Structure 1
Amino acid sequence: MKKIIIVFSCLCLLLFNICCKKKTIHLGKEINFESQENISYGNDPEQTMDLYIPAVLNSKSDVFIMIHGGGWRSGNKSQLTFFTLSMMQKFPKAVFANINYRLASTSRFGIPNQTEDINNVIHYLEKTLKYKPRFFLLGNSAGGHLSMLYAYHFDRDKKVKAVINIVGPSDLSDSGFKKYFDYPFVEKHLIDPKTILSNVSMTEFSSPVNWIRTTSAPTLSYYGKNDQVIPLSQKVILDSILNKNHILHESYEFNGGHLDWDKENNSSFLINKVDQFIKDLDKNKTL
């Protein structure tokens, strides 16, 4: 029995090493990253991430945290792998963490688990990198919502310096968003009622726009003109609240529906806008 346990332990260790094996990715002339896949940042099997560190890392290397969509209860980091690699070509000196998070279900609330996962990733990266970087959250759909909600409400220490929101719902009380086919699940299972203050409704608590203040993170948003899941009214509401609070922000529209943002022309446009947005932040000394 003792031998069986030892053999099993060795196999587990071998599998762990294979899953987390480091390798070098070459993305062009002098653009090299060390990648490590399926790193565990928590005790739950879903708390994993792929980490990409530039060959030349310094204390000024920014960190992009990539947060996938899927209606808060589905999806996987693999959905953003190709886009992450494209971003790495544009930002060869930055660190990229493409994350999974604990998915919501009828027996497990999405929040605060998912916002806690973003927080856990930030702490893990600070400990691993051994410096305090600028964090940029980039998410699509539910990931865009989580990026905004974390940055505007849960980021107590203001470590997130900018949000890249791609087709993320900003106001869950919007009548246009209530047409979302899975809205009943969102109402019942997105937010743990224990986390909500008695004078705040579920939709108020879970809506990023409700937490925007004059000190909120600068935000770049991207919405589809023909999106049948997240209507353009979400962009209008978000822009309005950011304007009222004098938050540096930009928003753009692309041709297509909810999933068309990462088509070649749309994604390349977005990446260029992200690049310019961060340059503008530096010029304005916002960070």
Structure 2
Amino acid sequence: MKKDVKIILIFLSLLFLWISCTEKKIKLGKDIKFDKEENIHYGNSPEQVMDLYISNTESAEKKDVFIIIHGGGWRGGNKSQLTFFTLSMMQKFHDHIFVNMNYRLASATQFGLPNQTDDIKKVTAMLKKKLGYNPSLILLGNSAGGHLSMLYAYQFDMDKKVKAVINIVGPADLSDSCFRNYQEYSFVERRLVDPRIPKPGTSRIDFASPVKWIDKNSPPTLSYYGNSDRVIPSSQEKILDSALNKNHILHEYYQFNGGHLDWDKHPHDEFLINKIETFLKKTVKK
């Protein structure tokens, strides 16, 4: 009976969030309200669209922005996959602004990089224009989105506006021999990086590996990995942890019981959101 009641409560919560998604204004509680704009174009490609959620919380301080980046092996996926998780995050971080973005996908005719990191940059430029200030950013992504969050923050954030990275089951070192067992690794080698972009002496795989760009100025990073993930090997979290330790970067990593796609299932999602809250408080004190 208790299990049935729990399932019903979860269903009602999801129904409430779905109804909220259909409105221009979202109310997630008595005092939690957001204005929503869907499918804002930040570039000329049909893929370059984002959803924007602006908190109605009154504050004298300029609000930080979560940029949510979906997974899908760099050539698939959609922001809709993270809509419910974004709304769950909004319930906890109701004094923040949220972006849930799509990006240009890699294909047989289009390289993933630098397009995908350029798209994150374009989103930040759009935010600066719409908000009237240049906000501090928290990049949060899962799988390929976790990889892109790290890669952008460590290599391409020239303005140093990324205050933290939340990496969920993202590959950090594409040269890792264990990661070479990834079933789509040949696609990663051939189509992830435009060969004209890396400087001489830098391989395409190293160019696309976040750990290769970590230095003492890299932002704090929280990582979340599954203990039975068949896509991202456990060696990835160890390599990332070692690189962050070597450069004395504030970081934490946690494991959940499950595979690559289980991170946002209950209770893993609730655990993660609580850890993000605690971690971000530490970054303010840093």
TM-score normalized with structure 1 length: 0.90
Match of 2:51 in 1: 50
Match of 1:154 in 2: 156
Q: How many angstroms does 1:57 deviate by?
A: 5.3
Match of 1:17 in 2: none
SS at match of 1:191: coil
Farther-moved stretch of structure 1 (95-104 vs 201-210) = 201-210
Match of 1:145 in 2: 147
Structure 2 counterpart of 1:70, one-letter code: G
Match of 1:90 in 2: 92
Work out which of the residue numbers 234, 237, 249 in structure 1 matches 2:236: 234
SS at match of 1:27: strand
Q: How many residues align?
A: 264
Indicate if the aligned counterparts of 1:102 and 1:110 stay in contact, CA closer than 8 A.
Answer: yes
Q: How many angstroms does 1:56 deviate by?
A: 2.8
Indicate if the aligned counterparts of 1:34 and 1:53 stay in contact, CA closer than 8 A.
Answer: yes
Match of 1:257 in 2: 259
**Equivalent-residue separation in structure 2 for 1:145 and 1:57 (angstroms):** 33
Match of 1:4 in 2: none
Tell me whether 1:38 sits opposite 2:39 in the alignment: yes
**Equivalent-residue separation in structure 1 for 2:166 and 2:226 (angstroms):** 15
Q: How many angstroms does 1:22 deviate by?
A: 7.3
SS at match of 1:195: coil
Match of 1:130 in 2: 132
**Equivalent-residue separation in structure 2 for 1:277 and 1:163 (angstroms):** 10
The runs of 5 or more residues in structure 2 that have no matched partner are 1-21
TM-score normalized with structure 2 length: 0.91
Q: How many angstroms does 1:55 deviate by?
A: 1.2
The percent identity for this pair of structures is 64
Q: How many angstroms does 1:132 deviate by?
A: 2.2
Tell which structure's C-alpha radius of gyration is larger.
1
Match of 1:171 in 2: 173
CA 1:22–1:268: 2 relative to 1, 3 Å: closer
SS at match of 1:237: helix
Structure 2 counterpart of 1:37, one-letter code: E
Indicate if the aligned counterparts of 2:57 and 2:94 stay in contact, CA closer than 8 A.
Answer: no
Q: How many angstroms does 1:282 deviate by?
A: 1.1
**Equivalent-residue separation in structure 2 for 1:197 and 1:123 (angstroms):** 25
**Equivalent-residue separation in structure 2 for 1:56 and 1:123 (angstroms):** 23
4+ runs of 1 displaced by more than 4 Å? none
Q: How many angstroms does 1:131 deviate by?
A: 1.5
Q: How many angstroms does 1:60 deviate by?
A: 2.5
Match of 2:63 in 1: 61
